[in-house]
Amino acid sequence: MFPDQILQFLLSGLTIGSIYALIALGFTIIYNTTGIINFAQGEFVMLGGMFMVGCTRLLHLPLPVGMLVTIMAVMLVGALIERLAIKPARNKSIVTLIIITIGVSIALKAAVAFFSKDSFTYPPFPGPEHVSIGNASLPGQSLWIMGTAGCIMAALWLFFHFTIRGKAMRACAINREAANIVGIDVEKMSLLSFGLSALIGAIAGIVVTPTTQMAWYRGTELGMKGFCAVILGGLGSSPGAVIGGLLLGLLETFGNYLFSGYRDAIAFSIFLLVIFIRPQGILRRK
Protein backbone atom coordinates (compact mmCIF):
# COMPACT_ATOMS: atom_id res chain seq x y z
CA MET A 1 0.00 0.00 0.00
CA PHE A 2 1.47 3.37 -1.00
CA PRO A 3 1.41 6.39 1.29
CA ASP A 4 -0.89 8.20 -1.13
CA GLN A 5 -3.30 5.32 -1.05
CA ILE A 6 -3.24 5.29 2.72
CA LEU A 7 -4.17 8.97 2.81
CA GLN A 8 -6.93 8.34 0.30
CA PHE A 9 -8.40 5.49 2.34
CA LEU A 10 -8.01 7.49 5.52
CA LEU A 11 -10.12 10.32 4.11
CA SER A 12 -12.77 8.03 2.59
CA GLY A 13 -12.90 6.04 5.82
CA LEU A 14 -13.38 9.15 7.93
CA THR A 15 -16.15 10.35 5.60
CA ILE A 16 -18.29 7.23 5.92
CA GLY A 17 -17.16 6.94 9.54
CA SER A 18 -18.66 10.37 10.26
CA ILE A 19 -22.02 9.09 9.07
CA TYR A 20 -21.71 5.97 11.25
CA ALA A 21 -20.75 8.18 14.18
CA LEU A 22 -23.88 10.31 13.73
CA ILE A 23 -26.09 7.23 13.59
CA ALA A 24 -24.32 5.81 16.64
CA LEU A 25 -24.95 9.07 18.52
CA GLY A 26 -28.64 8.75 17.69
CA PHE A 27 -28.67 5.27 19.22
CA THR A 28 -26.79 6.51 22.27
CA ILE A 29 -29.10 9.44 23.02
CA ILE A 30 -32.22 7.27 23.03
CA TYR A 31 -30.51 4.43 24.91
CA ASN A 32 -29.19 6.73 27.62
CA THR A 33 -32.48 8.49 28.19
CA THR A 34 -34.86 5.55 27.92
CA GLY A 35 -32.83 2.30 28.02
CA ILE A 36 -34.23 1.41 24.57
CA ILE A 37 -32.09 0.42 21.59
CA ASN A 38 -33.98 2.03 18.75
CA PHE A 39 -33.67 -0.19 15.70
CA ALA A 40 -35.56 2.39 13.65
CA GLN A 41 -32.53 4.70 13.90
CA GLY A 42 -31.36 3.81 10.39
CA GLU A 43 -34.85 4.63 9.11
CA PHE A 44 -34.41 8.23 10.28
CA VAL A 45 -31.39 8.42 7.95
CA MET A 46 -33.32 6.85 5.09
CA LEU A 47 -36.25 9.22 5.67
CA GLY A 48 -33.85 12.17 5.77
CA GLY A 49 -32.53 11.21 2.34
CA MET A 50 -35.94 10.38 0.88
CA PHE A 51 -37.73 13.50 2.15
CA MET A 52 -34.84 15.54 0.78
CA VAL A 53 -35.28 13.83 -2.58
CA GLY A 54 -38.93 14.82 -2.48
CA CYS A 55 -38.14 18.39 -1.49
CA THR A 56 -35.48 19.00 -4.14
CA ARG A 57 -36.60 16.84 -7.08
CA LEU A 58 -40.36 16.89 -6.65
CA LEU A 59 -41.11 20.22 -5.01
CA HIS A 60 -37.98 22.01 -6.34
CA LEU A 61 -37.45 23.76 -3.04
CA PRO A 62 -34.19 25.66 -2.56
CA LEU A 63 -31.56 23.61 -0.69
CA PRO A 64 -31.79 25.31 2.75
CA VAL A 65 -35.60 25.27 2.71
CA GLY A 66 -35.62 21.63 1.66
CA MET A 67 -33.27 20.77 4.51
CA LEU A 68 -35.41 22.56 7.06
CA VAL A 69 -38.61 20.91 5.83
CA THR A 70 -36.91 17.50 5.81
CA ILE A 71 -35.51 17.89 9.32
CA MET A 72 -38.86 19.04 10.69
CA ALA A 73 -40.68 16.17 8.98
CA VAL A 74 -38.29 13.50 10.28
CA MET A 75 -38.39 14.97 13.79
CA LEU A 76 -42.15 14.80 13.62
CA VAL A 77 -41.90 11.14 12.63
CA GLY A 78 -39.55 10.55 15.58
CA ALA A 79 -41.92 12.28 17.99
CA LEU A 80 -44.91 10.34 16.64
CA ILE A 81 -43.06 7.05 17.06
CA GLU A 82 -42.39 7.90 20.70
CA ARG A 83 -45.95 9.01 21.42
CA LEU A 84 -47.81 6.32 19.44
CA ALA A 85 -45.58 3.26 19.70
CA ILE A 86 -43.29 3.66 22.74
CA LYS A 87 -45.25 5.65 25.31
CA PRO A 88 -48.34 3.39 25.40
CA ALA A 89 -46.04 0.41 26.10
CA ARG A 90 -43.77 2.26 28.53
CA ASN A 91 -44.47 -0.08 31.46
CA LYS A 92 -43.61 -3.18 29.40
CA SER A 93 -40.14 -4.70 29.48
CA ILE A 94 -37.26 -3.09 27.58
CA VAL A 95 -37.06 -6.11 25.26
CA THR A 96 -40.68 -5.52 24.27
CA LEU A 97 -39.94 -1.88 23.52
CA ILE A 98 -36.89 -2.83 21.42
CA ILE A 99 -39.01 -5.26 19.40
CA ILE A 100 -41.54 -2.47 18.91
CA THR A 101 -38.78 -0.35 17.33
CA ILE A 102 -38.02 -3.22 14.92
CA GLY A 103 -41.70 -3.24 13.98
CA VAL A 104 -41.64 0.52 13.50
CA SER A 105 -38.59 0.16 11.27
CA ILE A 106 -40.36 -2.36 9.04
CA ALA A 107 -43.47 -0.18 8.89
CA LEU A 108 -41.45 2.88 7.85
CA LYS A 109 -39.66 0.95 5.12
CA ALA A 110 -42.97 -0.37 3.80
CA ALA A 111 -44.48 3.12 3.86
CA VAL A 112 -41.66 4.51 1.72
CA ALA A 113 -41.61 1.47 -0.60
CA PHE A 114 -45.34 2.04 -1.11
CA PHE A 115 -44.53 5.34 -2.83
CA SER A 116 -41.47 4.20 -4.72
CA LYS A 117 -39.14 1.23 -4.82
CA ASP A 118 -36.52 3.14 -6.85
CA SER A 119 -33.17 4.53 -5.74
CA PHE A 120 -32.72 8.29 -5.82
CA THR A 121 -30.04 10.87 -5.36
CA TYR A 122 -29.56 14.59 -5.80
CA PRO A 123 -26.54 16.72 -6.74
CA PRO A 124 -23.82 17.44 -4.14
CA PHE A 125 -24.08 20.65 -2.16
CA PRO A 126 -22.40 23.83 -3.46
CA GLY A 127 -18.62 23.81 -3.42
CA PRO A 128 -15.72 22.38 -5.38
CA GLU A 129 -16.39 19.06 -7.04
CA HIS A 130 -13.11 17.62 -5.80
CA VAL A 131 -10.58 18.68 -3.23
CA SER A 132 -6.97 17.54 -3.44
CA ILE A 133 -5.12 16.85 -0.24
CA GLY A 134 -1.57 15.77 -1.04
CA ASN A 135 -2.01 13.21 -3.78
CA ALA A 136 -5.38 12.12 -2.48
CA SER A 137 -8.59 13.44 -3.97
CA LEU A 138 -11.79 13.87 -2.04
CA PRO A 139 -15.29 14.63 -3.35
CA GLY A 140 -16.46 18.06 -2.19
CA GLN A 141 -19.49 16.46 -0.54
CA SER A 142 -17.12 14.62 1.83
CA LEU A 143 -16.18 17.97 3.33
CA TRP A 144 -19.87 18.71 3.85
CA ILE A 145 -20.31 15.34 5.55
CA MET A 146 -17.33 15.67 7.88
CA GLY A 147 -17.99 19.34 8.58
CA THR A 148 -21.66 18.74 9.39
CA ALA A 149 -20.82 15.77 11.61
CA GLY A 150 -18.23 17.85 13.45
CA CYS A 151 -20.72 20.70 13.99
CA ILE A 152 -23.40 18.33 15.28
CA MET A 153 -20.98 16.69 17.70
CA ALA A 154 -19.90 20.08 19.02
CA ALA A 155 -23.51 21.26 19.33
CA LEU A 156 -24.50 18.09 21.20
CA TRP A 157 -21.59 18.47 23.56
CA LEU A 158 -22.57 22.06 24.31
CA PHE A 159 -26.21 21.03 24.77
CA PHE A 160 -25.44 18.20 27.20
CA HIS A 161 -22.86 20.11 29.24
CA PHE A 162 -24.01 23.72 29.24
CA THR A 163 -27.80 23.77 29.22
CA ILE A 164 -30.03 22.79 32.09
CA ARG A 165 -32.19 20.70 29.74
CA GLY A 166 -29.17 18.81 28.44
CA LYS A 167 -27.97 18.22 31.98
CA ALA A 168 -31.42 16.94 32.90
CA MET A 169 -31.16 14.45 30.03
CA ARG A 170 -27.76 13.34 31.31
CA ALA A 171 -29.25 12.99 34.78
CA CYS A 172 -31.93 10.71 33.29
CA ALA A 173 -29.20 8.63 31.71
CA ILE A 174 -27.31 8.25 34.99
CA ASN A 175 -30.27 7.47 37.23
CA ARG A 176 -33.79 7.64 35.87
CA GLU A 177 -35.51 7.13 39.22
CA ALA A 178 -33.54 9.81 40.99
CA ALA A 179 -34.13 12.16 38.06
CA ASN A 180 -37.85 11.60 38.32
CA ILE A 181 -37.87 12.24 42.05
CA VAL A 182 -36.06 15.57 41.72
CA GLY A 183 -38.76 16.80 39.37
CA ILE A 184 -37.58 15.77 35.90
CA ASP A 185 -40.42 14.63 33.66
CA VAL A 186 -38.88 11.41 32.37
CA GLU A 187 -41.60 10.96 29.73
CA LYS A 188 -40.89 14.38 28.28
CA MET A 189 -37.19 13.51 28.20
CA SER A 190 -38.07 10.33 26.30
CA LEU A 191 -39.94 12.39 23.69
CA LEU A 192 -37.05 14.84 23.52
CA SER A 193 -34.56 12.00 22.97
CA PHE A 194 -36.55 10.60 20.04
CA GLY A 195 -36.87 14.08 18.51
CA LEU A 196 -33.16 14.74 18.91
CA SER A 197 -32.14 11.34 17.49
CA ALA A 198 -34.47 11.84 14.53
CA LEU A 199 -32.90 15.25 13.94
CA ILE A 200 -29.39 13.80 13.87
CA GLY A 201 -30.50 10.88 11.68
CA ALA A 202 -32.22 13.23 9.23
CA ILE A 203 -29.12 15.38 8.89
CA ALA A 204 -26.97 12.29 8.32
CA GLY A 205 -29.37 11.20 5.57
CA ILE A 206 -29.41 14.63 3.98
CA VAL A 207 -25.63 14.93 3.69
CA VAL A 208 -24.87 11.32 2.73
CA THR A 209 -27.39 10.88 -0.09
CA PRO A 210 -25.44 12.81 -2.79
CA THR A 211 -22.44 10.46 -2.37
CA THR A 212 -24.53 7.33 -2.71
CA GLN A 213 -28.11 6.48 -3.51
CA MET A 214 -31.05 6.50 -1.17
CA ALA A 215 -33.85 3.97 -1.31
CA TRP A 216 -36.47 2.53 1.02
CA TYR A 217 -34.25 -0.39 2.14
CA ARG A 218 -31.01 1.54 2.82
CA GLY A 219 -31.87 2.46 6.41
CA THR A 220 -31.48 -1.05 7.76
CA GLU A 221 -27.90 -1.39 6.57
CA LEU A 222 -26.94 2.08 7.79
CA GLY A 223 -28.67 1.47 11.09
CA MET A 224 -26.85 -1.82 11.61
CA LYS A 225 -23.52 -0.16 10.86
CA GLY A 226 -24.34 2.55 13.36
CA PHE A 227 -25.22 -0.15 15.89
CA CYS A 228 -21.85 -1.86 15.22
CA ALA A 229 -20.19 1.48 15.93
CA VAL A 230 -22.14 1.77 19.19
CA ILE A 231 -21.00 -1.68 20.35
CA LEU A 232 -17.43 -0.96 19.22
CA GLY A 233 -17.27 2.26 21.21
CA GLY A 234 -19.26 1.02 24.18
CA LEU A 235 -23.04 1.12 24.59
CA GLY A 236 -24.12 4.35 26.28
CA SER A 237 -20.93 6.34 25.74
CA SER A 238 -21.16 9.41 23.47
CA PRO A 239 -17.41 9.76 22.88
CA GLY A 240 -17.46 5.98 22.32
CA ALA A 241 -20.13 6.40 19.63
CA VAL A 242 -18.00 8.96 17.79
CA ILE A 243 -14.79 6.96 18.07
CA GLY A 244 -16.58 3.70 17.24
CA GLY A 245 -18.14 5.28 14.15
CA LEU A 246 -14.90 6.74 12.81
CA LEU A 247 -12.96 3.56 13.59
CA LEU A 248 -15.56 1.39 11.88
CA GLY A 249 -15.44 3.61 8.78
CA LEU A 250 -11.64 3.32 8.65
CA LEU A 251 -11.52 -0.45 9.28
CA GLU A 252 -14.18 -1.01 6.65
CA THR A 253 -12.40 1.08 4.04
CA PHE A 254 -8.97 -0.43 4.63
CA GLY A 255 -10.44 -3.91 4.99
CA ASN A 256 -12.31 -3.50 1.73
CA TYR A 257 -8.96 -2.84 0.01
CA LEU A 258 -7.49 -6.07 1.41
CA PHE A 259 -10.60 -8.23 0.93
CA SER A 260 -12.45 -6.58 -1.90
CA GLY A 261 -16.20 -6.88 -1.75
CA TYR A 262 -16.34 -7.92 1.90
CA ARG A 263 -17.09 -4.46 3.28
CA ASP A 264 -20.20 -5.50 5.23
CA ALA A 265 -18.69 -8.79 6.35
CA ILE A 266 -15.80 -6.82 7.83
CA ALA A 267 -18.12 -4.57 9.83
CA PHE A 268 -20.07 -7.46 11.30
CA SER A 269 -16.94 -9.52 11.98
CA ILE A 270 -15.63 -6.62 14.03
CA PHE A 271 -18.99 -6.50 15.78
CA LEU A 272 -18.76 -10.19 16.71
CA LEU A 273 -15.13 -9.86 17.79
CA VAL A 274 -16.00 -7.00 20.14
CA ILE A 275 -18.97 -8.89 21.58
CA PHE A 276 -16.75 -11.93 22.27
CA ILE A 277 -13.59 -10.21 23.47
CA ARG A 278 -14.57 -6.87 24.96
CA PRO A 279 -18.37 -6.68 25.24
CA GLN A 280 -18.23 -3.37 27.11
CA GLY A 281 -16.62 -1.73 24.05
CA ILE A 282 -13.53 0.44 23.83
CA LEU A 283 -14.46 3.30 26.08
CA ARG A 284 -16.49 1.69 28.82
CA ARG A 285 -15.26 0.09 31.97
CA LYS A 286 -16.94 -3.18 32.90
Partner 1 sequence: MAHLQVQGLHKTFDGITAVNDLYFDVRRNEICAIIGPNGAGKTTTFNLLSGVLPADRGKIFFDGNEILGLPPHDIARRGMVRTFQTVSLFDSMTVLDNVKVGCHGKAGAGLFSAALRTPGLRREEKEITKKAMEALKLLGVADRAYDQAGSLPFGQQRLVDIARALASDPEMILLDEPAAGLNAHETTELASLILALKNRGLTVMIIEHDMELIMEIADSIVVLDQGMKIACGPPADIQKDPRVITAYLGDED
Shortest spacing between CB 75 and partner 1, in angstroms: 10
The DSSP secondary structure of 216-262, one letter per residue, reads: TTHHHHHHHHHHHHHHHH-TT-HHHHHHHHHHHHHHHHHHHHHSTT-
Q: Tell me the window of 24-32, 180-188, 226-234, 252-260 that interacts with partner 1 (CB under 8 A).
A: 180-188
How far is C-alpha 65 from the geometric centre of its chain's CA atoms? 22
DSSP bridge pairs for 120: 214
Shortest spacing between CB 150 and partner 1, in angstroms: 17
Closest by CA to 241, choosing from 27, 76, 91, is 27
Q: Tell me the window of 65-73, 107-115, 168-176, 217-225 that interacts with partner 1 (CB under 8 A).
A: 168-176
Based on the shown chain and the rule CB under 8 A, indicate whether residue 92 belongs to the binding site for partner 1: no
Question: Identity (one letter) of the amino acid at 124?
Answer: P
Q: Tell me the window of 5-13, 59-67, 134-142, 169-177 that interacts with partner 1 (CB under 8 A).
A: 169-177
| HSE-CB for 192 with a 13 A CA cutoff | 18
Q: Which of 120, 125, 157, 159 binds partner 1 (CB under 8 A)?
A: 159
181 or 258, CB closer to partner 1?
181
| Phi, psi torsion values for 119, nearest 5 degrees | -95, 140
Based on the shown chain and the rule CB under 8 A, indicate whether residue 182 belongs to the binding site for partner 1: yes
Residue 180 three-state SS: helix
Give the separation between CA 230 and CA 250, rounded to whole angstroms.
Answer: 15
- Annotate each residue in 192-231 with x if it binds partner 1 (CB under 8 A) or - if it does not, as one string: x--x------------------------------------
55 or 179, CB closer to partner 1?
179
Shortest spacing between CB 17 and partner 1, in angstroms: 26
| Phi, psi torsion values for 133, nearest 5 degrees | -125, 110
Contact residues for partner 1 (CB under 8 A)? 155, 159, 162-168, 170-171, 174-175, 177-187, 192, 195
